[in-house]
């Protein structure tokens, strides 16, 4: 599949503002262009730690900084960009075949990920050279 950084957009999620506090919601196939099959979250990330370091063949994701902040470095094999997430009403869409790394986690931050498929290790590229080779020779 040919994908590029242009496809990895920031999605402004609905916000219901209320003196009692804010509420944001996400509906699969409405606010994200896929059905949500899995939710996972990263938390208790120690200072200086790096997560990610892989790409997915088919998986689509929406990444949200539920609390605190962190950086997502995206790489489509040609270009790289860094997206700083620090608002719980913005979701970063990551399409298939994008290498990503997450770092610069603030203390107490929580990274929520909505995913289009259940966990499947065979969907990962964990080797950067193999990812690049697959990017250059898409099936």
57 near ligand TYD (CB under 6 A):
no
Q: Which is nearer to ligand TYD, 38 or 87 (CB)?
A: 38
42 near ligand TYD (CB under 6 A):
yes
Among 6-14, 19-27, 46-54, 60-68, the segment contacting ligand TYD (CB under 6 A):
46-54
29 forms beta bridges with none
Strands 90-94 and 10-12: antiparallel
The single residue among 4, 31, 33, 52 that binds ligand TYD, judged by CB under 6 A, is 52
For the purposes of burial, counting CB atoms within 10 Å of the CB of 25, is it exposed (0-12), middle (13-18) or buried (19 or more)?
Answer: exposed
Q: 3-state DSSP call for residue 123? A: helix
Site string for ligand TYD, 97-136 (x = CB under 6 A): ----------------------x-----------------
Q: How far is CA 73 from the centre of its chain?
A: 10
40 near ligand TYD (CB under 6 A):
yes
Output the smallest distance, CB 14 to ligand TYD, in A: 26
DSSP secondary structure, 34-86, as one string:
S---EEEEE-SPPTT--EEEEEESS--EEEEEEES-EEEEEE-SS-EEEEEE-
31 is catalytic: no
The site for ligand TYD (CB under 6 A) is made up of: 38, 40, 42, 51-52, 54, 119
């Amino acid at each position: 599949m040919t994908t590029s950084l242009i496809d990895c957009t920031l999605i402004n999620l609905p916000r219901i503002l209320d003196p009692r506090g804010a509420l944001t919601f996400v509906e699969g196939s409405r606010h994200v262009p896929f059905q949500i099959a899995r939710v996972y979250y990263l938390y208790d990330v120690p200072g200086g730690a790096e997560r990610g370091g892989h790409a997915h063949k088919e998986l689509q994701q929406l990444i949200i900084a539920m609390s605190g902040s962190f950086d997502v470095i995206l790489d489509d094999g040609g270009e790289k960009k860094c997206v700083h997430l620090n608002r719980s009403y913005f979701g970063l869409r990551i399409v298939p075949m994008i290498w990503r790394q997450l770092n610069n986690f603030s203390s107490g931050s929580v990274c929520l990920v909505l995913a289009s498929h259940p966990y499947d290790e065979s969907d990962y590229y964990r080797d950067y050279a193999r990812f690049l080779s697959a990017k250059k020779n898409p099936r």
